[in-house]
A and B are shown apart, each in its own frame.
Chain A
């Protein structure tokens, strides 16, 4: 089974990288760009076929290591 994990900075936390990219896009003429948020994308191959167990364990992985829940949110998708 394959997991796709998305980690993003919480909405109420400033994202300096996103602000810098937004500024660059405006400079380039892409004025339509509003807020830009930068996050992380992780792919994990899981040796399990138990979907419910995979979800519970992925949540634990995200809470303990993959995301810092003080400043980041996470979500994931399971395939296969």
Chain B
């Protein structure tokens, strides 16, 4: 299986994503610059966190028009796995690949800390290795993670089981997001965006290794599609 990690000017979680793929599932992975015009050789595309184009105008607003994003749209249509993390989630919403938008945190502060998440949907290609309703520890690090969508969109998300993660625990909503939403998928389920950083939780030395199973889930989903051996 081959992964692409997109790199925009201002991306800063690209190396973490690359290492997470390398260390957790040992699959091929390349950095792909924002000017690339062909992603056809990749099975999964990671859109990493950071501050693409300095977050000028709005987070992800300028990145959505980078040449590589046309290819991301094609890859999404082709059913490839696309995971946007933090700024990557913001970029995918701006590009219209995921519904809704990410607003300024309700408390106005940039928040960087470990956060308990509830796995709301473990039937996706990205979460099959988790239990339904399992609480996992994954860090967040954002100033604009306050998920918002209108009522009609929310009803659709709920009806199609597109809410993948919610913030859990006592102090359960760090940023004011609608219905504690931390991550969602598209209707088809092959595009997921999330504010928390699974790539920063792949080793106990980092405080948690709960993010590992996102990567093993993706690999298993790909193997199932391609008739190869699946890991337990």
Interface of A toward B, CB cutoff 8 Å: 9, 13-14, 16-17, 20, 40, 65-66, 68, 70-71
Contact = CB atoms under 8 A, between A and B. Distances in A.
B57 interface: yes
Interface residues of B, number: 21
B61 A68 contact: yes
Interface of B: 57-58, 61-62, 65, 93-94, 99-101, 103-108, 146, 148-150, 176
A interface SS class: mixed
Contacts of A65: 57, 61-62, 65
A14 to B, nearest CB: 7
A70 B149 contact: yes
B107 A16 contact: yes
A71 B176 contact: no
B108 A17 contact: yes
Contacts of A14: 103, 106, 146, 148, 176
21 contacts: A13-B103, A13-B148, A14-B103, A16-B103, A16-B104, A16-B105, A16-B106, A16-B108, A17-B104, A17-B108, A20-B108, A40-B57, A65-B62, A65-B65, A66-B57, A68-B94, A70-B93, A70-B99, A70-B100, A70-B101, A70-B148
